């Protein structure tokens, strides 16, 4: 009896992991060209072919590395690079917090390593998937399937970019960077709760856009997200 339940659990976990892996397919269209470009840029800035996958493998998250590579000088300015990557990644504090109620069914020992593999895309995919599930929790194998697939894609293709190097040319000249916007817009549509419910998004959009125009660097994510959340509290109180 027990063993049959176990087998059922295992096979459904495999199905869920596979579902997560498949769901990353559109996201990869954006990630692969960018990973190639980042790897190539990093070697041009003097990182070695061993250091590139080490960098992308140890801290996963595209944005911070693009900023780090842009700021990379020889010898590198350690504090500036580390501070900038913290600033860009500070959104993960909010993201982890929003994730917490959906990870209630997991032990700390399961959740902490799993969070290492979290990126914007896998986090948003797992979250919107969880909101549709009746259990109201994240499907753990689905999340792992998606997150680890994206992680491996990222590491493998940044390394490939480092090896191919300058032969790649400028991939940004094609339209591949639009893939990120497309993914994020579709994820946002999935979270749409009518205009009234989504007014905080508008605040975030306007504040982040203005910040990006006025202040150099990556402050716009922090200012945009924070002002939207303050507006959300305000509108809640006002009702």
Partner 1 sequence: MIDAPTITIIVLMATSTYATRVLGYMVLRNRNLGPRMLAVLENVPGCVLISVIAPAFVSDNPANLSGLAITLLAATRLPLLPTVIIGIISTGFFRHFLGQ
Count of residues binding partner 1 (CB under 8 A)?
91
Interface with partner 1 includes 177 (CB under 8 A)?
yes
- Distance of closest approach, residue 11 Cβ to partner 1, in angstroms: 26
* Least distance (Å) between residue 7 CB and partner 1: 31
Interaction between residue 171 and partner 1 (CB under 8 A): no
64 lies in the site for partner 1, by CB under 8 A: yes
Instruction: Report the nearest approach of partner 1 to the CB of residue 148 (Å).
Output: 15
Cα-based torsion angle of the residue sequence 110, 113, 114, 117 in order, rounded to the nearest 10 degrees? -170
Task: Check binding of 215 to partner 1 (CB under 8 A).
Answer: no
Determine contact, residues 13/110, Cβ cutoff 8 Å.
no
In the window 17-46, what residues touch partner 1 (CB under 8 A)?
A: 25-27, 29-30
Q: Near partner 1 by CB under 8 A, which window of 118-126, 133-141, 149-157, 159-167?
A: 118-126
Both structure tokens of 225: 């997200």
Structure tokens, 16: 């869920």
Is cis: bond before 205, omega within 30 of 0?
no
Site string for partner 1, 80-99 (x = CB under 8 A): -xx--xx--xxxxxxxxxxx
Which one, 8 or 26, has the nearer CB to partner 1? 26
**Block residue for tokens 């924070």:** 226
Q: Is 164 in the site for partner 1 (CB under 8 A)?
A: no
Per rule CB under 8 A, is residue 165 in the interface with partner 1? no
d(CA 237, CA 239): 6
Total residue count of the chain as it appears in this document = 239
**To the nearest whole angstrom, how small is the minimum distance from the Cβ of residue 9 to partner 1?**
24
Cβ of 126: how many Cβ atoms within 10 Å? 26
Interior/surface letters 21-30, b for 16+ CB within 10 angstroms, e for the rest: bebbeebbeb
């Amino acid at each position: 009896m027990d063993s049959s339940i176990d087998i059922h659990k295992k096979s459904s976990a495999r199905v869920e992991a596979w579902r997560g892996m498949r769901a990353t397919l559109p996201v990869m269209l954006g990630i692969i060209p960018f990973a190639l470009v980042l790897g190539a840029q990093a070697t041009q800035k003097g990182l070695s072919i061993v250091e590139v996958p080490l960098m992308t493998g140890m801290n996963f998250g595209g944005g911070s590395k693009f900023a780090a590579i842009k700021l990379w000088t020889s010898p590198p300015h350690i504090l500036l690079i580390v501070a900038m990557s913290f600033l860009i990644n500070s959104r993960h504090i909010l993201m982890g917090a929003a994730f917490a109620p959906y990870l209630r069914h997991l032990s700390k020992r399961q959740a902490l390593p799993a969070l290492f593999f979290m990126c914007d895309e896998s986090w948003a995919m797992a979250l919107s998937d969880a909101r549709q599930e009746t259990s109201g929790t994240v499907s753990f194998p689905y999340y792992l399937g998606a997150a680890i697939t994206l992680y491996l894609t990222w590491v493998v293709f940044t390394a490939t970019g480092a090896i191919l190097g300058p032969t790649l040319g400028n991939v940004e000249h094609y339209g591949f960077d639009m893939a990120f916007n497309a993914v994020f817009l579709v994820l946002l549509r999935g979270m749409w709760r009518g205009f009234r419910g989504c007014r905080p998004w508008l605040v975030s959009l306007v504040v982040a856009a203005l910040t990006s125009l006025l202040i150099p660097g990556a402050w716009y994510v922090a200012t945009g997200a924070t002002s939207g959340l303050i507006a959300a509290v305000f509108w809640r109180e006002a009702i």
